[in-house]
Structure 1
Amino acid sequence: MATTHHSSLQKELEAVWKHGMEVLPEEVIGAFEQSISQLRDSGSAKGLSVGAAAPDFTLSNQTGSNVSLSAESAKGPVILTFYRGSWCPFCNLELKAYQHILAGIQEVGAQLLAVSPLTPDHSLTLREKHKLEFHVLSDSDNQVAERYQLKFSLPEELREIYRSLGFALEEYNGDDSWELPVPATYIIDKNGIIRFASVNPDYRTRAEPDEVLRFLHSL
C-alpha cells in the first residue's frame, strides 16, 4: 500500500498546482512562481545538511503537552518534517501521506514529528481533520525553523494575495511576522545527527514519504 502512495504523492501535489492554475488569476500564479524563484535564488533558508548535529528543542503539541527532540530520538530515529500550515493544500497532502505510512515508521522504532508555526488550536484542528496519529508541534515565532536555517519572510506583495485567499497568517500563527519555514524533512538518528535531509524552497515538491521510509530501513 505504501508503494502505491509513494507513486502518487507528487502527482497529487502537481494536480493541486494544476487546479490552482485553472482557477486563480494569471497574475496570482505569476506572483507565486516569482516568489519561489526569488527564494531559491536568494540562497537563504537552505536548511541544515546531512552530517550536522540536529538542534534540540522542546515544543508544545496539539494538546499543549511538551515534546522534546532529545526525548523522542532516545527512543529511536526521528522523522522531523517542517510544513507551512493547515491553510497550505500541499502540506495537507504531505501530512496525510505520512499518516498512510505511520505504521511502517513505527515498525522500525522511529518517531514522526511535524512542525509548523501554527498555534496549538490550529494544529489540533488539523490533526483531527486528517485523523493524524503523530505529534503536530507549534513552533511559535519559527524559533526552531530558524535554528534549522529554514525561516524566511513572505514578500510584502504576496501578503495581500494570501489574505484574499483566506490565508491570514496573523490568525493562523498568532503573530504578524509573516514568517514561514521552507518545507523540509529530516531523519535524525539516536545520536542527534541528521542522516537524511530534503529541503526545497519550492513548496510544490516534497520528499516522498516512501523514500523516507526506505531510508529508515537502511539505518
Structure 2
Amino acid sequence: MSLQTKLDAFKADFEAGKPPYNVPSSVIDVMHRATAELVASGAAESTLKAGEKAPIFTLNDSDGNPVSSTHLLAEGPLVISFYRGVWCPYCNMELQALEAALPSFRQLGANLIAISPQTAVNSRKSVRQNQLDFPILSDAHNDVAAAFGLRFALPDYLIDLYTTLKNDLPSFNGDESWTLPMPGRFVIGQDGVILYAEVNPDYTRRPEPEDMLPAIRKAAQPYAQ
C-alpha cells in the first residue's frame, strides 16, 4: 500500500470522527480553513526549488550530537525530510515509509535525515515510536526550515484550537513562536545543489519515498566508482 493511500485512509477515519479519534466536525472545519489559507497564501511558491543551492547547516541529533550537512554531503547525496513533530500522525506515517525505503537510499550511497522543530526528548520519542534507523535533528525556532522557505506562523484561531486540544507546540518545541515547517522533501547532490524538492502546504499530502530515487541515482552517478 502506498504512503498516500495510508494517509488518505487515516484522514477519512479521523474526519469521520470514528473511535478512537471522536473529533467534532467543528475542529475539522478549523483545520480545513487553516490548510486552505496556507495553500492560498502561495507560501509554497517561495520554497527552494531543484537547481538552487541548499543552505549549509549544523543541527543536533536526538542525543545532542552535532550533525553537519557539509559532513554528510562529503559521504554522498543527502535526503532531507522536514516534518512537524511526533504529535502529527501524518508525519509519523511518513517517517515509517522513509524507514522502509532507507535500504534503497543507502544502496545508492545516500544519507537520510529528518528535521523537525521539536526538542531532543520528542525526537528520541519519534525514533523509538517509529523504529527509525536514521537521525532526527532538532531545528530550534525552525531556522533551517526558514532557510529552505518552509517556516510559517500559525494563525491565532489555529493556536486557540491547538491550545484547546492540548497540542502545546511551545512545550513540544521549546519555543514560544507557534511556527511550523510545511512538510518538505529534498534530495541534495554532493555539490550542494538541490536535485529534488517537494513541498506541500497541505500536511495530509506527502510524496512517495520512491519518487526521490531518480534524483538520488542522478546524484550518485558522478561519484560512482
Paired residues of 1:79 and 1:187 also in contact (CA < 8 A): yes
CA RMSD, aligned part only? 1.2
- Asked if 1:19 is matched to 2:18, the reply is no
Residue 9 of structure 1 pairs with residue 3 of structure 2: yes
Is 1:156 aligned with 2:150?
no
Aligned length: 213
What percentage of residue pairs aligned between the two structures are identical?
39
Structure 1 segments of 4+ aligned residues over 2 angstroms from their partners: 163-166
Distance (Å, rounded) in 1 between the aligned partners of 2:52 and 2:212: 18
Q: Within 5 A, what are the aligned runs for 1:20-35?
A: 20-23=14-17, 24-35=23-34
Segment of structure 1 superposing worse, 29-38 or 51-60 = 29-38
SS in 1 for 2:202: coil
1:83-94 paired onto structure 2 within 5 Å:
83-94=83-94
Q: Relative to 1, partners in 2 of residues 1:218 and 1:191: Cα closer, same or farther, differing over 3 Å?
A: closer
CA distance, structure 2, for counterparts of residue 209 and residue 58 of structure 1:
24
Once the 2 structures are TM-superposed, how far is the Cα of residue 142 of structure 1 from its aligned partner?
Answer: 0.6
TM-score w.r.t. structure 2 length?
0.91
> What is the rounded CA distance, in whole Å, between the counterparts of 1:208 and 1:181 in structure 2?
19
In structure 1, C-alpha distance between the alignment counterparts of 2:2 and 2:124, rounded to whole Å: 26
* 1:26 partner letter: S
Q: How does 1:16-165 map to 2 (within 5 A)?
A: 16-23=10-17, 24-46=23-45, 47-165=47-165
Give the Cα separation in 1 of the matches to 2:8 and 2:33: 18
Structure 1: gaps (5+ residues): 1-6
Separation in 2, partners of 1:110, 1:152: 29
Secondary structure of residue in 2 paired with 1:19:
helix
CA distance in 2, matches of 1:177, 1:15: 32
- What do the CA deviations read for 1:40-83 (whole angstroms, capped 9, x no partner)? 11122531011110000000001000001111011111001100
CA–CA distance in structure 1, aligned partners of residues 179 and 52 of structure 2 = 24
Separation (CA, whole Å) in 2 of partners of 1:68 and 1:9: 29
Matched residue SS, 1:134 = coil
Contact 1:45 1:152 (C-alpha < 8 Å) held by counterparts = no
Q: Report the Cα distance in structure 1 between the residues aligned to 2:2 and 2:164, rounded to whole angstroms.
A: 30
Q: Distance in 1 between matches of 2:166 and 2:91?
A: 16
